[in-house]
Amino acid sequence: MANRTIDHAITATSLTSAASDPTHAGILSFMRRKYTKKLAGVDAVVWGIPFDAATSNRPGARFGPQAIRRASAIFDNDPQYPFERDLFAHMATIDYGDCLLDYGNHSKTPATIEREAAKILKSGAFLLTLGGDHFITLPLLRAHAAVHGSLALVHFDAHQDTWPDEKGRIDHGSFLGRAVREGLIDTEASIQIGIRTHAPDDCDIRILYGYDVEEMSTQAIADAIIEQVGDKAAYLTFDIDCLDPAYAPGTGTPVSGGPSSAKILSVLRKLGPLRFKGADVVEVAPAYDHADVTAIAASTVAMYMLGLHAEDLAEREPVA
């Protein structure tokens, strides 16, 4: 115990150092990463956006980033399953904290998110965002597309989020349709997985409906995603209500008939060939959760996103 410390989120002396906090104690950053706004030398940034004013059903996703961070404490510094590595040994990762938003002036929210995201992306770091409702993905896509151009979207969700809207509307059910109209998304390279509702417009995006996911193997689902995206720069957005409410009750618009967390995590594990430039996990509403079931699922999805990026960095390392 003599060489161990606590509160690694503020006491860490290296961005690649392991934490020794007990899982039940210590300051709760995401996976105990150091809290800092300094971006120099950073490979990956975890950022929270506590916003839920765009929800159409149950509110509460503004507490999602806190819940996901709390659940992530269960990940210790042994090699992370199923990646068989300490994700941070060679991937300098920070917790950038949360986006500061004016709760009384929502019209400023999109520009605030986009501006702060652009600042992070300018550093060259991979950005993993914790929501918040799904509207936050629109300004995030704007920031990523400004750097990488039109993106392939890999979208796990129970909802298409392509409902019509008018300019300036803040709505988690129409963000994707707006992204398509703004040219942020390459529809021919994009895909939605787990959809269990119908919207008037599919925006010409390929859909794997809930019944497709139920009948397909995890390898077949992953193959379909990889085939659709190809070598296009991609963005991964994961609405936790993609999972059946049995595995993610703590969300604003749950839809029965979805896949298990085990099945979708297996799919995510197989997406290593894709060129993800950013990712988010959204719609965790802990007030409706039970025993942190949803938060644990969301934190695991987020960890997988970092695991895929850690593998991508390792593959790009020059051979000595």
pLDDT tens string, the chain, 320 residues long: the values are 556 789 999 999 999 988 989 889 999 999 999 999 999 999 999 999 999 988 999 999 999 999 999 999 999 777 899 999 999 999 999 999 999 999 999 999 999 999 999 999 999 999 999 999 999 999 999 999 999 999 999 999 999 989 888 777 888 878 999 999 999 999 999 999 999 999 888 999 999 999 999 999 999 999 999 999 999 999 999 999 999 999 999 999 999 999 999 999 999 999 999 999 999 999 999 999 999 999 999 999 999 999 999 999 988 765 44
- Residue-level pLDDT at 167: 79
- Residue-level pLDDT at 171: 80
Amino acid letter, 2:
A
Alpha-carbon distance of 310 to 85, in angstroms, equals: 9
Q: Tell the residue number behind the tokens 């593998």, with chain if given.
A: 311
Which residues pair with residue 235 across a beta bridge? 153, 278
Q: Tell the residue number behind the tokens 């995890």, with chain if given.
A: 218
**CB neighbourhood size of 219 (10 A):** 11
First to last CA, the chain: 36
- Residue-level pLDDT at 317: 67
Alpha-carbon distance of 35 to 39, in angstroms, equals: 11
- Residue-level pLDDT at 1: 54
Amino acid letter, 28:
L
Element (H, E) at 27: none
- Residue-level pLDDT at 319: 46
pTM score of the predicted model? 0.95
Which tokens sit at 101? Answer: 């938003």
Burial label for 46, CB within 10 Å (0-12, 13-18, 19+), is buried
Which tokens sit at 48? Answer: 């929270």
Domains of the chain and CATH, by start: 8-316 (3.40.800.10)
Polymer length in residues for the chain: 320
Alpha-carbon distance of 117 to 237, in angstroms, equals: 15
Alpha-carbon distance of 145 to 151, in angstroms, equals: 6
